[in-house]
Amino acid sequence: MLGNTTEPLLGRVAVVTGGARGLGYAMAEALASGGAEVALLDRLDTVAEAADALESASGRRCLGVSVDVASEASVAAAFDIIGERLGAADVLVNSAGITSGAPLLDTSTDDWRRVLDVNVTGTFVTSREFARRHVEADRGNPASIVNVSSMSAFAVNIPQTQAAYNTSKAAVSMFTKSAAIEWWPLGIRVNAIAPGYFASDMTRDFVAENPEMADEWVRRIPAGRMGQPEELGDLLVYLASERSSYVVGQSILIDGGYTSV
């Protein structure tokens, strides 16, 4: 059963962490276009405003909730609000993430832990809360988790130094495989998207300050350009919906060919 061909997520409730801006918001737009009602979770104080904008543009019910994804209590409280306002969640997109550009010799233990806390522990805590509630609801509905990994899980992309980030994204990809196998019998499919260089809000800010680095990135991309946030949308909707019912535990690269050379 592949569902509605034009709105494969119609009737679903989707949760997007890191959804207030950038790639997270672009993916939330894609989910809404696919028929889902969407809850945006983010630490940014603009999350409610972002949700209002998405609701106005899409015509879907949307909700913005402030959350710390690495905090069990904060995540549980957010899912309580989602349940009360939108209903039980069927789709989770773990998009919240941070990086650190310090060379390893200059990376503090606190900075290392901060990156892994958000990118790895945050993905685990949010996924576990989502899965527990799916099991407790026992509605028989299929559920889907799409983690946002990175091509940095598979390649040390240079010239920037970001060992903590690379390590965290490799962990997200292995978590995806492990959770997929463990939760498949519970009716929860888990996969990941592994983007390369995309022209997100954060990337644009970085490029404005480091144009020579952006030139080096593009030089190494066979496609000759960075991706646009909307180019993630079709892949995300495919993985989030039953269109991909036979795709389990995969981290799918979308990087313009960067890791192929």
Cα R_g (the chain), whole angstroms = 17
Active site residue 165: yes
φ, ψ at 191 (rounded to 5°): -140, 180
The residue type of 217 is: W
The rounded distance, in Å, linking the Cα atoms of 253 and 249 is 13
Under 8 Å between Cβ of 14 and 91: yes
> What is the token pair recorded at 246?
């036979």
The residue annotated as part of the active site, out of 25, 165, 238, 258, is 165
Give helix 22-33 / helix 47-58 axis angle, nearest 10°. 30
Distances (CA, A) of 197 to 7, 18, 54, 111: 28, 17, 24, 23
Supply the residues annotated as catalytic: 165
